[in-house]
Structure 1
Amino acid sequence: MKIGCPTEIKPQEFRVGITPAAAQEAVAHGHTVVMQVGAGLGSGFDDADYRAAGATLVDTAEQVFATADMIVKVKEPQAVERKLLRDGQILFTYLHLAPDPDQTRDLIASGATCIAYETVTDDRGGLPLLAPMSEVAGRLAPQVGAWTLQKANGGRGVLLGGVPGVLPAKVLVIGGGVVGTHAARVAAGMGADVTVLDRSLHRMRYLDDVFGGVFKTGYASAARTADMVAEADMVIGAVLVPGAAAPRLVTRTQLSTMKPGAAIVDVAIDQGGCFETSRATTHQDPIYDVDGIMHYCVANMPGAVARTSTLALGNATLPFMLALADKGWKDACADDPHLLNGLNVHAGKLTYFAVGKALGLDVTAPQVALKL
C-alpha cells in the first residue's frame, strides 16, 4: 500500500502523522511511504531522517493525496485538504466530527473511508489513540492555566502554589478520566489546592487509592459543580463523551459567580467544549475574556510540545496503521472490532452514531459498512 503523510496546515500545528521510525516499519512491511517535504520539521525530524527510513519525498500536499492509498495525519483535514480526498481512499487521523458539520459533510461527499483516532477503542474500554494526547493535554492544562492566571494576561495574578503565608490557588478539574487525572496530578505537583469532580464512584475510589489524597475528589452534581466553580481560581474542563459533542457543564450565567480574573482551560474544545462560553482558539492567540473570566481554549494543545506529542502518538498509531496497510481497511476492521469502532465515514455514509445524533444525520452501522 502507498501511505501518504502531508504537512499539517492547521494554524500552529507542528506535529506530524508519521515518524521516521514508523516510516521505516512500514517500508519493512513492503509498503511505500510518501512524505511531503518538511512535514516533520516542526517535530524535529528533517527530510534526511525520512529518506534514511526509506520514505519517498514529494514537494506538495497535492502530490501526497494523489499518490497515496491511505493518508495518515494528526489533525482533521482542513477544507483545502478535504477537496483532495477521493473515492476509496483511506483517511486515518483525528476527526472530531460531532461539533464540525462542514467537515462531516465534506468527508461524506468525498467517498473516502475515514477512521478517527479518537473513537478507536481497546478491550479495557479505553481510547488508545486518544489517550497519549489526553495525557499531554492534561499535563499542559495547569501549565497554560497558570500562565493565563498571570496579571499581565488578564488573570487574577495568583500563583498556583502560593508561598509561605499565602494560600495556594484553588484548581477545579471537571472530569476524572485521562485528561483530568493528569491535570490534577500536575496541578497538585505545582502546589495548588486541587479537587476533581466526577460522577463515577468507582473512578473516584481509584483516584483516591492511587494518589492517596494528593488531590481531593467530589461527586459532580450540578449544585456541587456550581459551588466549586464559584470558589475556584482555575477550572479545567476535562469531560469526554467518546466521539460525541462535549456536554456543556458551566453556563455563561455562572461566570458571574466566579472570581474576577479566574481562568478556564477547556481541554474538551476539540469536541465543542464543556463551557457555554468556549470557542476554539490557537496557540498564536490562545486566550480571551468573557465577563472578566479568562478562557484558554486552544483546540490543539499538544501541538505546543510537538516532539513529545508526535512520538507519543506515533507509538500508539503504528500498530493500527500497519494493520490497515497490511490487510486493507475491511479485513483489518473485520479482524479487530476496536478498530472498526474508529470508522466514522465510508463510501458516502456516516458510520458513527454519536456524530449522527449530534448533527442530526442518518447513520449506517459500521458492520453494515463493511459489506458496502
Structure 2
Amino acid sequence: MKKLAIITTHPIQYHAPWFRLLAATGKVDLKVFYTWSQTEHGVVDRTFGQVIHWDVPLLDGYNYEFVRNVAKDPGSHHKAGIDCPGLIGAIETFNPDIVLVFGWNFKSHFQVMKYFKGRIPVWFRGDSTLLGEKRGIKRYFRRLSLRYVYRYIDKAFYVGSENKKYFKAHGLKEDQLVFAPHAVDNIRFFDSIEKDYHNKAQTWRKELGYGINDLVVLFAGKFENKKRPHFLVNIVKAVNEVRQQPIKLLLVGNGPQEDSLKTISENDRNIQFLPFQNQTMMPIIYRVGNVYCLPSQGPDETWGLGVNEAMASGRGVILSDKVGCGVDLIVVNENGYIFKDSEILKQKLIGLTMEKCKKLGASAQKDIKPWDFNVIVKSILESL
C-alpha cells in the first residue's frame, strides 16, 4: 500500500469529506498535514470578521497532523502566513511515497515542492484560471515566474476546464494533468423526508415576509469587492423599476462592505439581509431563494463552490462570465445563465419567472450529480 502525504493549510468542508472517503477505501495510507496550526480550533476569517467554527465534522475518518506555524501574521491570505520549520521533517517521519501539495504560494508549501522534487513524486492541486488576466509586461513576467514554480511538480489535479488551460499556459503537459473536479458534499444538500429542507425553507420565507409568488434572488457569500454585491443590488434596483412584479433580493453573509450595502438598501423593501450562516443551514438558505446569483468579477473567483451547493439544492444559477466554474457547470438556458455585462444581467432578471426558476433548478440538480467527491478519490487512486 502506497503512502500519500497531503499538504494543505486548514480543514475545510470542501476537502475533509473526500479525505475521509480516500482513507476509507483502504487502498492508500493517507496523512494530511495542516500548516495553519492556529486553525485547529477555528478559523479567524478576516473577511467575515469573525472566528468560524464549522458545524460539520472536518477531522474524523482520516489521519492528520497540525504542524506548528511560526508566522508572525499567520494565515492563508499571504505568502509569509504559512511558515512551518518542522514541516519537511514531519513529512519525512511519515515517509510517504508521494506528496500532494495544495497551493504553492505559501512559504512552506513551496519549500516542500522544491525539497521533494526528484526524491518522490510531487503532486499538486490548485484552481487558478486565466480569467480576468490582463495583457502586458506584468503578465509576461508572471508567466515566466509560474513556469519556474511548476517545474517542481510531476502531476497536477485540475478542477475544471479553465484551470486546465491555466496549467497548460504555465508549461504543464497533457500527460501531467488529471481531472479531479471541484465538488461539494452533494448528498448533504439533497433533500429527504428526514431533512425536510423544503418545508423549513418555506417557513423561513414566511418569516422574512415573502409570499408564495415572490421571486427571490439569493446572494450568499462574503460582502467583498471581488464578489460585487453592490453591483447586484444596483442591478436589482434598476430591474424593479420596469418589472411589474418586483424581484426580491436576499443577501446572506458578512464582510467589509456590509454597512455600505445596508445603507444603499435601507429604504428598499425588496432587499433583505441575513448574517453568515453555518454549513448545516446552507441547504435551507439556498431553498429560501428561487435562483442563486454570483456576479463576481476578476481573477480571484477561480471556481465558485457556492454554485455547486446551489445546484445540489435544486436551484438554477446566474453567473458572471468571470466565474471559473461557468464553462463546466452551466448549460445556458437549461440550468442557468451566464452574463458578460450589466445589460445582459438586467434582461435575464427582467424576464425571469417562477416557472423558469423551477425548470432551471430541476436541471441544475440533475447536472451537478457527476461533480462528486467520489470522482476525486477515483482520480487519485488511478494515479497511484
TM-score range (shorter-chain normalised) is: 0.3 to 0.5
Q: Which TM-score applies when normalising by structure 1? A: 0.39
**TM-score, reference length from structure 2:** 0.38
Give the structure, 1 or 2, with the largest relative contact order (CA under 8 Å, sep 6 or more). Answer: 1
